[in-house]
Amino acid sequence: MGIFGIAKKGFGMLGKSMAKNRMVRGTSTRADRIKHGGRSPDIKSVKRTKLSKEKSITKGKDHFYLKNIREMNKHKAAIEAGEKAKKKIKRMKDTKRAYSIGDYSAAADPSHPPKKGWDK
């Protein structure tokens, strides 16, 4: 076996020991922890919901609808106070979190998205 084969074999062990040392210090990456036994590739800490699938989806969409409304109201209050927030509302429209009909801007409802052509 040539010198490169020996070095390659030894460096493989060096990589494993270095990864274990990084895990002990708390500076390892997720890839190190999965490859060398520090973490499972599956997520097990998130509990299942007790709601049915339809109710769970509705609850999630309602949460984001309320979040869109709160953010839209915050930006409108900032505009009334004389601060610059029009770009933030425009960004919400670009990311489909809000839509506009003429001069009126409204938060987008994820469970009932606006029909095509309403977003101007």
Mean pLDDT of 90-119: 75
Q: Is 120 exposed, middle or buried (0-12, 13-18, 19+ CB in 10 A)?
A: exposed
Structure tokens at 36: 């060398």
Q: Return the number of other C-beta atoms located less than 10 Å from residue 68's C-beta.
A: 19
Structure tokens at 4: 């490169």
pLDDT at residue 41, rounded to an integer: 65
- Tens digits of per-residue pLDDT, 49-84? 888 989 989 998 999 999 999 999 999 999 999 888
Which residues is 105 bridged to in the sheet?
100
pLDDT band at 114 (very low <50, low <70, confident <90, very high): low
